[in-house]
Structure 1
């Protein structure tokens, strides 16, 4: 079968296990292979393999479309107290097979329901060998008689008008009495010999190779159970829900006194894990909302940002449903609401900053509010986009992971990406709209708690940054040393594949000595179950699955048992509250049972380990070679070495040999003397002891085998084998002892193969230590102490193999993530130096992630590796905030280098702290949770929190110092990056500007007139068009000298005579040289005309910009004047009203004051409209939608007395009028 299957494409691994009477071949395909296609290929190859398998060795069959992890629901069927005698093990097994199993098989999502335990009912014909000999009958004759006397047939029909009568014969056996009456043959006297004359016909059971035990504080003993196997790819939670509903209905149909009771329910674990996720998400959301309100200092603003959280989650859930991503511990466990709201925070913070600059002295109207929000949102659109995109991009490499880690963390990356994408859309659409509607239109300039808190941080931070700038070398050297120390510690850190998920129950792998009988196994398991139930109050019940079921999804021998220890909720534990400590205590309690080994794991973990690499334990040492005895000796030596390694627990040595057997070696010379064949001898032996089915007995819809075998008292020892009689062709009865050598021997117990090579396994679990360090120590000791024979080699499987493969993939994914971050920074800043400067936040963050793992005693795992990838994306945001502010201050040309750093850090301290705080505290519930499923989330959350702490601290201290060093060097190198390239690289997500920066300063520097003119000349399309016309004319001038084409002519052949002629000629037209000069003069004139046109366009544009800018400056200054007048007239109106109320003046003065106040208000409103009009016009001329702030420093107040009296300005009538006023 292995050789035939190895030719199927897309196979990753083929492994097999063969033991007495059973072989199971496991074929592992690549992850992306369709399971139904794979099964079709296997079925086709099985047909081919059957032709090459000798007869009598069985026919290979493909297993149900499920896996070991498909065991989603397990239950026992037992009699209620008082009904135990009415329902024995055989009756309960029949109820399971023909009532419970039959109804469960119709449930959607169910692939198979395996029955386990009890006695499988059969109609047994127990032959008496002495009576067989006395009647000179063979076992084969009895078997044939039973086959021939248990059948129905039909005889067509008789046409007898008006009806057709169908002829039907009924000869099926109806019960024990019918079997007793079957005639085997007639003796010499013609008297028929009946079955009852030579055998006892009774209700029996099949020979068992497995059993099920159940122990509770109230009862203990054998039981009957069922294992529900889920269809591969189905949703476990949904299928279990359907099974529970079906079980509830089935319970009502069972006989009185019989009940179905589940002991393993996958949905319980799912519900606990999802409860943990829900709790962490809710707590994380509440923490993020609190921090937002605290830092923003505005309750409404905090709620606006917080409202993005549920909407982004709805968006993510919708896409999860669309892309078929199920909600589970992994897909939802890494969502950090602090990261999700980052874009919304930028928009809302910008809006609040804009509103805080309100100089109107009154509340905004709704149109004014809309305009303010629109301007701030448009200005910060690039910032919001870039902050979300850079977080989104770093998750892309996680999607490239394959294997187990890809299946686990791929959905996580998808869900986080969906949520961030939803938040990105909301921050650019929903957030501005809600801000305009719900943010207060009345602006208060009083300091709130948030401002006072930031003042506190600023007072403590300012001395630190001053000291850092004074001791720059010390700061840099210290940070580098800290990084070096963390890297050194990281190399010494242990490793594990994925933290063990606490399932809430134990799976104890139990082994007796090789060859132990089923009854011995049952006794020992009952003894172990009793100890666990009585000594540990945490135990609810213990279920023992011994050996193999009839459908062997797990081909265990009779000496092997899967002991499932069902535990109470952890809050009810009293012995200890640590799972590993409880396993240690249970292991010590079970040491009192001699000859039995126990290995503690968990149900899903055990099956998962076995499916992934064929090893049940955490670590499997696989020894490959040809000779089983040599492999056994090597495994014994390795077992001794492993037992000395600290942290190695539950040592398992595979017993490939040592199975006691009764060997029947047929002597060919002897059977030839009696004219017998090997087939006859083997068939007699097989039927006598194993039993052969001679047909079926129907009880309604229930079917039971009719089996022929020797009576149980004749199947007890080796002498019974020797005394089995074989009938020779001449009718003589020959005992087996005369035909074969029958003796005790020790043979192979089981043979395991992987990729067509024999192997043996030394397995161990790890407790109290990480897997990587344990394997390293084992490898070192094995290499030093064991020398393998030629052709033998060792590999390491289990979780270590998964860790090794996943680490190799992470070694690609992490650099890719780092490269993506660096490229995004370069696209944003256009500077390699500044990109590297911001990129330095990543090693600063890594320091905290490493130390956080060490402080919590966590080894490096794939969860932690994914946490580092997520951390790197978040860590650079704070660096972007600071460098952006530094660049803005530098462009003002007003500050020195140290002043830029001090002022920039002071301005951006709030957003830096807010970004880091919400991102880290959003993960806090995951890092601190001890609920079910939190084990997988903890390393990821720990890395992010620890990394953000050090990243924030070092970014605020080390980054400014590095900035001063970088700015001391030569000017930065810039390179133009095409927008199209960026767009493709960001997978279609358009960066709104090449210089887009996350969390840019809310207010830019004021725009001077000269800057406005330069901007207009740079952006105006008419100017660009005129420049292109000059380039066009210059290109045409290059074509003014055109000599035309040169013609070549070749002739060959008999042209002028018999001889062949060869002619070659070239011709060229040369125009008058004066024509070239005239053409050049024409193009030169056209170039000058285009240059003049460009100058005219530039001058006209400059004039329009100057005029519009000056008018805007005039109306802006006039508005300030109106504001001061408004204040004066407001005071005057209040005074006039007071004087009128006190009777000091008449109504005329009050009315006059009101009129003057309203006139000023009207002038303000009209003037504001003029400001908006000229602002729009200036934006049009500048071809920009950025907010414009007029620079007031370029205007100088003119002293009236200094104006020359005869100048045009002095004679201006408008100025004269103003002067008189």
Structure 2
């Protein structure tokens, strides 16, 4: 998956993305009904379609949005449902809808073969000169035309692209604004205008004719090409005088009604979004798109501006997931490389056998590459979570090589000279082979609960379970079958006992080991830079040296004094057993005090600022708000680019109303980095800092954004990121990680309950009151025209006669579509603007009655102001509203939700919150994934423990021995819970080493007991039993050989056997711990997810 530059090696990389797509298995049915209100859409389109779709197999739930002019229905399938079959079932159901289910002319369509998190590439179109400087000079409608008819089609042809959607600018249309007085004078109705325009916009084909043995294709050219063509259309002939369109209307080109606006740093813009097809490799698709952009770049339109500058349209990306993917993979690549270097150092120092050290170190690349091959074969996507499985397994992977190599070296030193080297290596490998296999088996089985997870947590962590299993299996195969073979070749020559080796040769070997260790440590220091890029390589080298010396000194001291320690423990069993007992009890108390959450957020390097304007705001007001927000955010020095959107992209994936602001804020990294996420230095070797001194974290940047972007008439916005937001909205249907879902019989009741909950939640000490927001569902101003049936009956008119005039004269109605090459433009008929801007003017609109009489509409209707819904949301046909909120910084999601639940239950019991009949509420959010994961773990964890117990029993064949090794799991877990508790204490590790605070260095802060942490604990299963299996296996073998009879003999044999096995046991523990240090100190992209697991 890493983009290594190896030209001579053919590559077929695995699919790569930054994070797994943990969204629901969702399909979209999108239906347009232009000009219709949300209530009309809900009653006549969304509800009947939802009822029809509910019967499809494996459907979990159906959510829907009824908005102005369109309906979006989201069919959520169960995780096991096949993606393509799901789409086929929906198409079959839509094709078999009974007649009359939907209004005439309304046609539902299946959404793109993609999900919202597939929006991987956003861009704008801008004018640039030949030197690459922005020039402007392009109108919004010109840029939109280029986007719709050139760029969109070209990018859609790139491999793996599901959709390219346009946003911003103005869609051109021909506008016929009729004059009702002129029409009345000429005795012309709107139906006459409609018919005349339709009949004046068509081409025909007349097959072929043959002239002089030459065949000619005959075409009748009649499509409308210009405003003049429309003006010349004859509507009617009165007294042999043709009445043309220009006689009764004003014809022009202008912008069509728009429900989405794009803004870049305070100025309107035009752009688009590329969506990856489901199941495709995002990185490969983006590369395909960039190749297509390079291909069409020279052919994009250009023009000469007034000052003589030649300006050409360029495609300018502002959100490109490639950077996030490369930085995330770069973090993992660096972590794995640094772990291998640390492992080499530890092995050389502790084993003091250079050839063995190199043999063990060579195991790692071979095992990791084998893991990549398995990922490719089993189609496991490479992402931050999946590759973290390899990163956290490095120490465990090398343990097996250490055990086998150490045993081979010891046997070669102790075996008699006449015994063949082959036999010695064979005996040594067989002696520990069963222990290695048992240790591997327990580690693999420990991840059984992860394989059984469902929903988002399963999609998130199953790839990690696969990769760690692949890595462990590969390392086991290498350790058991490859290392003994290479050891036979490497350990050639005449064998001599250790005490017969020449001192000079031994000193030379030690010197060589020291030189190698220093060189590896120097390389490690240069690329690890644990003290930070601003401290330099020398300081980092000193820190690495001190850290390794401290840890390895402890290991060596334990190795040397282990017989004394073990002897005291055997002599004072009761006192010693109190230590693990106290540890287990303390760990239990620590576990109870830990917060709970689903998953730490991945730092994406960008924010998505999503406030909302008031529902009554017009699109002009919304555009003004968006421009002010973007301009204010751009003033922050740490911000790189700001591109905002109001309303929706022209895609079924985006149902946003015009009150919703979505601003993508890309900020500079703390230090300048290259495309792989590696820090760039200046000529003096110092890292180039890009943040001001008081800005220490992305949270500080967000706080400044909130401070400058808050405007009157806009709501607050939760801290969100682009991918995170799409996933949250896909999972929960709302734009916040936490919220309350309110269901009720009607929208006004739901809104009233939501407002009550909003006021109550603001009183909660666990909740940030600024983030609490109840949706204003019935707050959109409506102008309703009620037809007086008795009045129209007096004139012999029908409802449809009046409704046609309302629809065409006020709203405007497309008549036909012009065909101009590849471009298509609608032709719209409407009354002149000055005749439909006020209620009084609406009342003066004339409605034709039978007999040619024109009746003012005010005599036929009652016009009134009212309020109605901007968007109608429902779930399984039940009307739904949301109350959004967020906990205060540092608080766990589940704890916040549980406190809120108790608080609201208390208010209901006290009578302060009264729910009307038919109203219910439930909490929704990403915390539901954590709850579901906990339930899965409660069922599967005991099963995994049982299987591990059986594996250990098959290894030792006795219950007491099995229980002794098995107890290590609970001791290890207790230690983990205690360490997590200590991480949350501000005094823990709050010391400095070489001028660096260790608490900051090792990312020590409060961690919630998330699924990521639980996955790390599951990894402890195998690690906790590995040393026990190794030690107990050798003890059992020694007891079989010596068959001790007395307690003294047993104690003596125990001390002797344990002393021989303590070095490999401590070496494996040291490598496991030290190999995680690069992850624990990692600050690059993706570290947020890796650190809790480590």
TM norm. shorter chain > 0.5: yes
Equivalent residues of 2:402, 2:1067 under 8 A apart: no
Q: Distance in 2 between matches of 1:357 and 1:459?
A: 20
Q: Distance in 2 between matches of 1:612 and 1:170?
A: 52
Q: Give the Å deviation of 1:562.
A: 0.8
Answer with 136-145 or 515-524: which moved more.
136-145
Q: How does 1:1124-1135 map to 2 (within 5 A)?
A: none
Answer with 116-125 or 420-429: which moved more.
420-429
Q: 1:732/1:308 Cα in 2 relative to 1: closer, same or farther (>3 Å)? A: same
Matched, 1:864 2:991: no
1:669 to 764, 768, 790: 790
Q: Distance in 1 between matches of 2:757 and 2:1088?
A: 32
Partner of 1:768: 890
Q: Distance in 1 between matches of 2:100 and 2:321?
A: 41
Q: How does 1:587-602 map to 2 (within 5 A)?
A: 587-602=706-721
Q: Give the Å deviation of 1:576.
A: 1.5
Partner of 2:988: none
Matched, 1:405 2:457: yes
Equivalent residues of 2:439, 2:1022 under 8 A apart: no
**What's the secondary structure of 1:136's corresponding residue?**
coil
Equivalent residues of 1:616, 1:798 under 8 A apart: no
**What's the secondary structure of 2:251's corresponding residue?**
strand
Equivalent residues of 2:262, 2:271 under 8 A apart: yes
Q: Distance in 2 between matches of 1:209 and 1:868?
A: 49
Partner of 1:540: 640
Q: Distance in 2 between matches of 1:156 and 1:115?
A: 38
Q: 1:594/1:752 Cα in 2 relative to 1: closer, same or farther (>3 Å)? A: closer
Equivalent residues of 2:168, 2:270 under 8 A apart: yes
Kindly name which structure, 1 or 2, has the bigger radius of gyration based on alpha carbons.
Answer: 1
Q: Distance in 1 between matches of 2:407 and 2:716?
A: 67
Q: Give the Å deviation of 1:752.
A: 1.3
Q: Give the Å deviation of 1:858.
A: 0.2
Equivalent residues of 1:140, 1:684 under 8 A apart: no
Partner of 1:502: 603
Per-residue CA shift, 1:1148-1169, capped at 9, x if unaligned? xxxxxxxxxxxxxxxxxxxxxx
Q: How does 1:905-916 map to 2 (within 5 A)?
A: 905-916=1058-1069
Answer with 626-635 or 439-448: which moved more.
439-448
Partner of 1:879: 1028
Q: Give the Å deviation of 1:846.
A: 0.5
Partner of 2:993: none
Q: How does 1:85-104 map to 2 (within 5 A)?
A: 86-104=137-155
Q: How does 1:731-1130 map to 2 (within 5 A)?
A: 731-766=852-887, 767-785=889-907, 786-854=913-981, 855=983, 856-891=1005-1040, 892=1042, 893=1044, 895-941=1048-1094
Q: Distance in 1 between matches of 2:731 and 2:554?
A: 54
Matched, 1:343 2:496: no
Q: Distance in 2 between matches of 1:85 and 1:473?
A: 83
Partner of 1:65: 113
Q: Distance in 2 between matches of 1:78 and 1:160?
A: 51
Q: Give the Å deviation of 1:817.
A: 2.1
Q: Give the Å deviation of 1:413.
A: 1.2
Q: Distance in 2 between matches of 1:725 and 1:195?
A: 19
Partner of 1:309: 364
Per-residue CA shift, 1:708-729, capped at 9, x if unaligned? 1223333423334323322223
**What's the secondary structure of 2:891's corresponding residue?**
coil
Q: Give the Å deviation of 1:358.
A: 4.5
Q: 1:288/1:186 Cα in 2 relative to 1: closer, same or farther (>3 Å)? A: same
Equivalent residues of 2:435, 2:1033 under 8 A apart: no
Q: Distance in 1 between matches of 2:1012 and 2:366?
A: 27
Q: Distance in 1 between matches of 2:424 and 2:564?
A: 37
Greater length-normalized contact order (CA 8 Å, ≥ 6 residues apart):
2
Q: Distance in 1 between matches of 2:98 and 2:815?
A: 24
Partner of 2:1001: none
Partner of 2:592: 491
Per-residue CA shift, 1:442-500, capped at 9, x if unaligned? 54436887999876324544554444445433333343233222212212211111110
Q: Distance in 2 between matches of 1:118 and 1:161?
A: 52
Q: Give the Å deviation of 1:698.
A: 2.6
Structure 1 length as normaliser, TM-score? 0.73
Q: Distance in 2 between matches of 1:550 and 1:674?
A: 43
Q: Give the Å deviation of 1:164.
A: 5.7
Q: 1:583/1:455 Cα in 2 relative to 1: closer, same or farther (>3 Å)? A: closer
Q: Distance in 2 between matches of 1:393 and 1:801?
A: 26
Q: Give the Å deviation of 1:13.
A: 1.2
Q: How does 1:619-658 map to 2 (within 5 A)?
A: 619-645=738-764, 646-648=766-768, 650-658=771-779
Q: 1:131/1:343 Cα in 2 relative to 1: closer, same or farther (>3 Å)? A: same
Q: 1:271/1:375 Cα in 2 relative to 1: closer, same or farther (>3 Å)? A: same
Q: 1:568/1:452 Cα in 2 relative to 1: closer, same or farther (>3 Å)? A: closer
Q: 1:581/1:165 Cα in 2 relative to 1: closer, same or farther (>3 Å)? A: closer
Per-residue CA shift, 1:150-208, capped at 9, x if unaligned? 11223455567745665542222121111110011122x33111111111211111111
Q: 1:383/1:641 Cα in 2 relative to 1: closer, same or farther (>3 Å)? A: same
Partner of 2:75: 27
Q: How does 1:562-573 map to 2 (within 5 A)?
A: 562-571=662-671, 572-573=690-691
Q: Give the Å deviation of 1:60.
A: 1.8
**What's the secondary structure of 2:381's corresponding residue?**
coil
Partner of 1:1218: none
Partner of 1:3: 51
Q: How does 1:320-335 map to 2 (within 5 A)?
A: 320-335=375-390
Answer with 713-722 or 857-866: which moved more.
713-722
1:477 to 567, 572, 578: 578
Partner of 1:1125: none
Q: Give the Å deviation of 1:440.
A: 5.5
Partner of 1:248: 294
Q: Give the Å deviation of 1:77.
A: 0.7
**What's the secondary structure of 2:201's corresponding residue?**
coil
Q: Give the Å deviation of 1:388.
A: 2.2
Matched, 1:151 2:202: yes
Partner of 1:205: 255
Q: Give the Å deviation of 1:105.
A: 1.2
Q: Distance in 1 between matches of 2:191 and 2:841?
A: 18
Matched, 1:284 2:339: yes
Q: 1:423/1:753 Cα in 2 relative to 1: closer, same or farther (>3 Å)? A: same
Partner of 1:118: 169
Q: 1:733/1:936 Cα in 2 relative to 1: closer, same or farther (>3 Å)? A: same
Q: 1:576/1:591 Cα in 2 relative to 1: closer, same or farther (>3 Å)? A: same
**What's the secondary structure of 2:886's corresponding residue?**
strand
1:39 to 63, 87, 92: 87
Q: Give the Å deviation of 1:394.
A: 2.0
**What's the secondary structure of 2:896's corresponding residue?**
helix
Q: Distance in 1 between matches of 2:746 and 2:649?
A: 30
Per-residue CA shift, 1:1028-1071, capped at 9, x if unaligned? xxxxxxxxxxxxxxxxxxxxxxxxxxxxxxxxxxxxxxxxxxxx
Q: Distance in 2 between matches of 1:764 and 1:129?
A: 52
Partner of 1:556: 656
| 5+ long unaligned stretches in structure 1 | 942-1221
Q: Distance in 2 between matches of 1:83 and 1:610?
A: 36
Per-residue CA shift, 1:764-792, capped at 9, x if unaligned? 23433211111111111111113433432
2:412 to 355, 366, 374: 355
Equivalent residues of 1:657, 1:749 under 8 A apart: yes
Matched, 1:433 2:475: no
Q: Give the Å deviation of 1:890.
A: 3.9
Q: 1:11/1:762 Cα in 2 relative to 1: closer, same or farther (>3 Å)? A: same
Q: Distance in 2 between matches of 1:455 and 1:172?
A: 90
Q: Supply the RMSD in Å over aligned alpha carbons.
A: 2.4
Equivalent residues of 1:50, 1:59 under 8 A apart: no
Equivalent residues of 1:118, 1:212 under 8 A apart: yes
Q: 1:515/1:842 Cα in 2 relative to 1: closer, same or farther (>3 Å)? A: same
**What's the secondary structure of 2:124's corresponding residue?**
strand
Equivalent residues of 1:547, 1:561 under 8 A apart: yes
